[in-house]
Chains A and B, each alone.
Chain A
Amino acid sequence: MTAPAAAVEVASASRWYGNVVAVNDVTFRLDGGVTGLLGPNGAGKSTILHLIAGFLAPSSGTVTVSGSPARGHPELYRQVGLVPEHEAVYPFLTGRQFVQANARLQGMSVEQAAEAAARAIGQVALADAQDRAIGTYSKGMRQRIKVASALVHEPQVLLLDEPFNGMDPRQRLQMMDLLRRMAAEGRVILFSSHILEEVERLAERVLVIVAGRLAASGDFREIRRLMTDRPHTFTIRSSDDRALAAALMDQPMIAGVSLDDGLLTVRTADFGAFSASVAGVARRAGIRLHELLPTDESLESVFSYLVRR
């Protein structure tokens, strides 16, 4: 007996444009739940979503949806909803007309489409604005009407490219609730984001993409731990940097100490133990700490650590 086909299966997929590799040998499968596609801008997140949506052909490897190649099978769009990052939506249509048109293009009758559109617009909480032209919408409203248009046919797979861009915090929470509910119904939700906190709050599973490669994947807590355990670097200013450097050198969690141009830099493998003990070490040596700064807290440095790992 063969296992049932995964809703989405990406197998050794690569995609390049001329000499530029956008996606490099990526493999994963999605069977349900909310998955976050996390990575810095330009990492290849959109390319992966467009590969799954069938709008790009993999240069090598395969991308399948319900066991069929994602590309060249328009009938698969019955099961797939795509929210592109691109903001453009027909400005002359009202929100209701736009969502209804999407439902009709999915093959629904006029009555079915009206019903489905009303439900989808309710889900994204845009009923008040549904009879206004989309041209008058704010960025967040536009984002939500795009989501409504993508879920109006209740797709099994929902792909969202940076869906929270332009939403205010309240709208963001509502959208996260909606996506969680849809996942609870057994749907596959894959959304991309370059913001760690969004992914942390919503995704059960994370795919970290850096420079086109899948740097890490799995449970969010697992990846969070990897991120926390990575070597941290701090710069310290104190009343006596040289003495502090010597005192810190004796500590077991310190991986390295350097003193260049009067700037004390400390590298530690254990973030927790270091932050708990550094003040005590200084006090015992009779040194006053003036400043303790982490040097590499940007998301990019977290990503690049995951890649090197």
Chain B
Amino acid sequence: MNGVIAGITLRQLLSRRRTILLLLLGALMILVALALRIGAEGANLPRYASVLLETFGVATLMPLVALLFGTATIGAELEEGTAIYLLAKPIPRWITLITKLVVAAICSILLTCIPVFLAGLLAGGSQNGIVIAFTIASAIGSVIYCAIFVALSLVSSRALIFGLGYILIWEGVLAGLFAGTQTFSVRQHTLAFADALTDAPSAIFSAPLALGTAIVVGTAVVVLATAIAIRRLARIEIAGETA
């Protein structure tokens, strides 16, 4: 980690206008939780809470937050041209990359987990440790997504579009269809972690993927994506404006 790069990256990520959109999205989830709580008096609240956290938190908020921070942490700097000030320094590129990845992950965790925690609490997920389980699991999921999106931003200059397509098509549709594709879905990994952390009965919440698979595949994805990103950053080419 490099403190100077971390500081600049943090200010850069938080000063972007898109960050406000992410805050609004988190606030919206909290509002929905509140509406559920008020409208569903006496109903099965833990079940409602887990459905809300699964569909809004893990399936929507978490990937979008990680997508915006993950692609902005390096990709946006390369696009805007400021990256050259960080790269023209006697600092090994892997340190630059890890620093940026960690900052993106921390920002993603904050903007995902705080709304997840509050919404879960409001919707009535305090029983069976559902709130804590989803909060911790979405922190893990945020890290996996960030690693993927940081790598994507170094592989493609259209990372935002491809990332959105990946979230909607792969995570949203294809990965849910078959047991085989679930293995490679970050959403399913996250749900597996949440399932392992709660003692809620399966009538309230259960995940289709086994915890062991989630740990192995999730770790492998993070390691592989980070390795690809380091390699790309070490060999990155920056041309002059006129080239």
Chain A positions within 8 Å of B, measured between CB atoms, are 17, 22, 41-47, 49-50, 53, 55-57, 72, 74-78, 80-82, 84-90, 92-93, 101-102, 104-107, 149, 161
Tell me if A50 and B4 are in contact (CB < 8 A).
no
Judged by DSSP, the binding face of B is: loop
Tell me if B243 and A22 are in contact (CB < 8 A).
yes
Which listed residue, A50, A90, A101, touches B239 by the CB 8 Å rule?
Answer: A50
Chain B residues with CB under 8 A of A22: 243
Tell me if A88 and B243 are in contact (CB < 8 A).
no
In this assembly, does B238 line the interface, its C-beta being within 8 Å of a C-beta of chain A? yes
Tell me if B12 and A90 are in contact (CB < 8 A).
yes
Can you list 11 A-B contacts with CB-CB less than 8 angstroms, sorted by A residue number? A45-B240, A46-B242, A46-B243, A50-B239, A84-B84, A85-B240, A88-B80, A92-B12, A102-B85, A102-B89, A105-B4
Question: Which of B90-98, B144-152, B160-168, B196-204 lies at the binding interface?
Answer: B90-98
Q: Which of A55, A81, A82, A105 lies at the interface centre, i.e. has the most chain B CB atoms within 10 A of its CB?
A: A105
Provided the pairs A74-B93, A92-B11, A101-B4 are in contact, do residues A82 and B240 lie with their beta carbons within 8 angstroms? no
Provided the pairs A89-B82, A101-B8 are in contact, do residues A80 and B88 lie with their beta carbons within 8 angstroms? yes
Tell me if A50 and B89 are in contact (CB < 8 A).
no
Which listed residue, A17, A76, A105, A106, touches B243 by the CB 8 Å rule?
Answer: A17
Provided the pairs A74-B92, A74-B93, A88-B82 are in contact, do residues A46 and B239 lie with their beta carbons within 8 angstroms? yes
Chain A residues with CB under 8 A of B90: 74-78, 106-107
Give 11 new A-B contacts, CB below 8 A, not counting A55-B88, A77-B89: A41-B242, A53-B88, A74-B89, A86-B81, A89-B82, A89-B85, A101-B4, A104-B3, A104-B4, A161-B240, A161-B241
Chain B positions within 8 Å of A, measured between CB atoms, are 2-5, 7-8, 11-12, 15, 80-82, 84-93, 234, 236-243
Chain A residues with CB under 8 A of B237: 55-57
Chain B residues with CB under 8 A of A93: 8, 11
Tell me if B240 and A90 are in contact (CB < 8 A).
no
A289 smallest CB distance to B (angstroms): 42
Q: Which of A43, A74, A85 lies at the interface centre, i.e. has the most chain B CB atoms within 10 A of its CB?
A: A74
B9 smallest CB distance to A (angstroms): 10
Closest to B4 in A: A104
How far apart are the CA atoms of A104 and B240 in the complex, in Å? 25
Chain B residues with CB under 8 A of A107: 90
Tell me if B12 and A86 are in contact (CB < 8 A).
no
Which listed residue, B8, B84, B234, B241, touches A55 by the CB 8 Å rule?
Answer: B84
How far apart are the CA atoms of A17 and B240 in the complex, in Å? 13
Tell me if A86 and B84 are in contact (CB < 8 A).
yes
How far apart are the CA atoms of A85 and B81 in the complex, in Å? 10
B218 smallest CB distance to A (angstroms): 31
Tell me if A56 and B239 are in contact (CB < 8 A).
yes
B199 smallest CB distance to A (angstroms): 46
How far apart are the CA atoms of A231 and B91 in the complex, in Å? 52
How far apart are the CA atoms of A107 and B3 in the complex, in Å? 11
Provided the pairs A55-B237, A93-B8, A101-B4 are in contact, do residues A84 and B243 lie with their beta carbons within 8 angstroms? no
